[in-house]
Amino acid sequence: MAKAESFIKGTIILAMAALVARVLGLAQRVPLEHLLGFTGDAAFSIANNVYLMLLAVATAGIPSTLSKMVSERYALGRPHEAQRIYYAALLFAGAAGIVMTLLLYFGAPYYAAMSKEPAAALSLQAIAPSLLLFPTIAMMRGYFQGRNMMIAGGISQIVEQFARVFTAILLAYLLLRIGYGDVEVAAGASFGSVLGSIGAFAVMIYFTFKLRKQDAANRLEMKAAGEESVIPLGLIYKDIFKLSIPIVIASLTIPAVNIIDSSIIKPLLIDQVGNLAATASLGILGQRAQSIAGIPPILAIALSTSLIPIISAAYARKEQENLQKQMTLALRISVLTGVPIVLMLATAAYCINGLLFSSRDSVGADAPSIMALLTICTIFQITMMTSNSMLIGINKVNLSMVHVLAGIALKLVLSLVLSQFLGIYGIIAATGLCFVLITILNLRSLHQVVNFSVLGSRWPGFLITVVVLGLVGLGLNQAGIGLTAWMNDRVAFFLGCCMVGIATLILYPVMLVLLRVVRAEELSSYPKPLRKLLSPLMRLQSRKA
């Protein structure tokens, strides 16, 4: 029970931090979307996606590997080895930061030209210096997660977003007031990531000093016992890269999908719809749709991050029953909590677009449809991310890597094919099918190791819940649109969003209980907040029974 509570606590901390970060990120996108034209939107989106891709290449694998290796060393009573591994990871981070910064800065004009958006070059160069610190920040977060201290990474993430968002909006506004054009304003907004990296690094340094005394005591104890040995750096790097390269590839799914879209949307669509409409589609997908669609997977990201050290420790100790329990709990929570958010955002897409973003209906009339379709795809992103972390935790990183490569290959092929018939919607549909394929392959491999069932025979009741809530949400969204005839548009859209959100939050748990998707006898296995929410509703189930 203590391990389960620790897992849940770590997940909640990371989820809250990710939620705050995502809300701040959306808070940044909204004013920027009003300050920038379609060219600026496209340039900022390209810069952000390339930056995230390079950051994932430089850091995604090793922090996860570091978290796994550190948690295993502490579980086995060898903290001195964990410290040595951490030192090696920091050395690599410094070198990776320099290389990635130079690569992005000098390669910016070439990539912008390839994407048929030369205006993105300046934004790419403005965001490049942030890569100097982020690899080191990522290693520090991985180490603290391995020590089961999620609060350090959570606070650094929030500070990073505050600094980045404030700087981006301020610089964009000042440059616009001074008289600079769309290209320079987008570059100023991109530079906000540099200030964000400085803020996050300062937080991690603070928590490092707090841990210094404890780590020093551990080293003295090991020296006194004569148990401390120095692991050669070469051996550490061999072990790290053996594990991290597959993890890097497995972690690249979302950045790879986004950079694929940034790279191919204009080349594929420009002959179909023209340069202006293709640029608008790229800007809508990058600035509006990706920011909204990034909200549902927040809990899955937290689950995935906190899941690896927990599962790694259970796997190292060969605690099969605990391993099965944690996997079942993680998948069930990710599905049950992800779907209502997807339903709210997808069905209310028109009202959300009207409320948050500027209206350029002559070119961007399809924005709500693009936002809704991409958001629907994220339910499979949630299951993909959670199952990916499970494979990594049980030392099946190579399988995870193969599955991701298969999914990305499918994404590329289907994007090229479907875009010819469906345009931007074909490219988004290819993204969803990529996530579906990876999820299916992951779950098949996991079942060969651990037998678990997420919902089992309850799937029909769950699907009925989804269909009913989807229809209710669409109806209330339409009602919000209808209110524009009686009041200010943004007020009407706000009321529409509220109606969809409130109806979903009320009906979803009620239907889960009535249709016995969630049952009274299993309530004790759920996190405490969910128990408090569902316990009063269980009377409905008993009456029905």
pLDDT at 396: 82
Cβ contact 67:308 at 8 Å: yes
pLDDT at 454: 76
Kind and range of the H or E run holding 407: helix 397-422
pTM: 0.73
Residue 301 CA to residue 324 CA, distance in Å, equals 20
Residue 218 has a pLDDT of 54
The sign of the CA dihedral 271, 272, 276, 280 is: negative
Whole-angstrom Cα distance, residue 502 to residue 426? 32
pLDDT at 362: 45
| Helices 182-190 & 38-59 angle (0-180, nearest 10) | 30
Residues of the chain predicted below pLDDT 70 = 1-19, 21-28, 55, 57-61, 213-230, 299-310, 312, 358-365, 521-531, 540, 542-545
What pLDDT does residue 4 have? 46
Q: What is the pLDDT of residue 525?
A: 60
Predicted confidence at residue 21, as pLDDT, reads 66
CB–CB of 348/500 below 8 Å?
yes
Instruction: Look at residue 540 in the predicted model and tell me its pLDDT.
Output: 67
Give the span between the Cα atoms of 6 and 326, in whole angstroms: 11
The length of the chain in residues reads: 545
What gap in Å lies between CA 185 and CA 167, rounded to an integer?
Answer: 12
Query: What b/e string do you get for 433-451 counting C-beta neighbours within 10 Å, with b at 16 or more?
Result: bbbbbbbbbbbebbeebbe
Residue 2: what pLDDT? Answer: 46
What are 6's two structure tokens?
A: 């620790």
Q: Which residue has the tokens 């009339």?
A: 365
Q: CB-hemisphere CA count at 13 Å for 90?
A: 13
Distance of alpha carbon 37 from alpha carbon 34, whole angstroms: 8
Residue 545: predicted pLDDT: 46
* pLDDT at res. 451: 80
| Domains of the chain, residue spans | 2-454, 458-545
